[in-house]
Amino acid sequence: MPESIRAAAGLGAVSIGVKFSKAERKILKKQQAIKVSEWCERHRVVTMTSLPGPWRNETTPYLTGIMDASMAPGVEEISICKAPQVGVSEAAHNFVGYVIDRAPAPVMYVYPDETTADENSRDRILPMLRSSERLRGHLTGSSDDQGLKRINLNHMPIYLAWARSPSRLGNKPVCYLVLDEVDKYPASAGRGEADPISLAEKRTITYGWKRKIWKISTPTDEDGAIVRAIKACAVVFVFEVCCPYCGGAQVMTFENITWPAETNDFNEIEHGRLARYECKHCQAQWTDEDRNEAVLAASSVWKA
């Protein structure tokens, strides 16, 4: 109330109280900044895995630095050259879950083919949304919004595309782009079309420096798409494990894998668990259990 009106009415000081509802307080409350790796331990539930349940960074410690770097200021592209079945695609899902909750904007996943795109939508992405209390609230409740090709949340869309479909790769501005298994993409998205990676990257132009692009793949040859992407990176990090016997840090290489000289039968080596990894420092022969210990011991050792 203006002071002139209070004086004319013979009123003194007036105190006005404002009370916000629980929902209003929740909306107005400023979220505490957390890392992607912290977010996924709080809110991500893994379903399609040998170890279902809440996400635990200690299970795959080498992914923590990758996830956290993806949201670092100034980082627009994250390229990951990796071994098969080491959880990197799940790390990308964690990143997507984080941005759905913390920095919503359109997302696009690109897979090598339509079948893989559909399977990941049905088996990975939708279960991630439904199993997380934090993410489940963004589902609209309509089955039409939970399709295999597009998932409409109440504040942003998630598109599913594949490398051989120019129409799926075009006409959709996106802020977050996940390119999975890029070494399996064809050279061209179609007759007369550019390569799938270039077509998909053009979808992020609208968002400029805010965009985040993940490129993920197991390498197929020395000049494949993921190797070229790594060579183009401004900074390259490698993950070093620490020997459980001598503590020496090292990058694991195929050349250090050994097995008994008397056999070259892969099935015999695999089923008998005859292979060992030789530490380059002390020549200790690691078993699978030793390797896991070496990875856990190096949970925060990344080197540029």
Which residue from 48, 88, 46, 81 is spatially nearest to 64, judged by alpha carbons?
88
Specify whether the CB–CB gap between 275 and 257 falls below 8 A: yes
In the block, residue with structure tokens 């053009």: 202
pLDDT at 38: 97
68: Cβ contacts below 8 Å, ≥ 6 apart:
35, 36, 37
Residue 144, Cβ density class (10 Å: 0-12 exposed, 13-18 middle, ≥19 buried):
exposed
Q: Is 79 helix (H, G, I), strand (E, B) or coil?
A: strand
d(CA 78, CA 213): 6
Which residue from 82, 45, 77 is spatially nearest to 62, judged by alpha carbons?
82
Which residue from 181, 188, 192, 190 is spatially nearest to 214, judged by alpha carbons?
181
* Phi and psi torsions of 134, nearest 5°: -70, -35
Question: To 10 degrees, what angle do helices 36-43 and 88-102 make?
Answer: 90
Specify whether the CB–CB gap between 300 and 35 falls below 8 A: no
In the block, residue with structure tokens 């890029």: 182
DSSP at 145? G
d(CA 299, CA 61): 5
In the block, residue with structure tokens 């020549």: 283
d(CA 295, CA 304): 18
Per-residue pLDDT of the chain (304 residues; tens, 9 = 90+): 567 666 666 666 666 677 888 777 766 676 788 999 999 999 999 988 777 899 999 889 999 999 999 999 999 999 999 989 899 999 999 999 999 999 999 999 999 999 999 999 999 999 999 999 999 999 999 999 999 999 999 999 999 999 999 999 988 899 999 999 999 999 998 888 899 999 999 999 999 999 999 999 999 988 999 999 999 999 998 888 999 999 999 999 989 999 998 888 888 888 888 999 999 999 999 999 999 999 888 754 455 5
Alpha helices of 212-259 — where are they, by DSSP H?
Answer: 225-231
DSSP at 41? H
Half-sphere exposure at residue 196, Cβ-oriented, CA atoms within 13 angstroms: 29
pTM for the predicted model, two decimal places: 0.84
* Phi and psi torsions of 47, nearest 5°: -110, -50
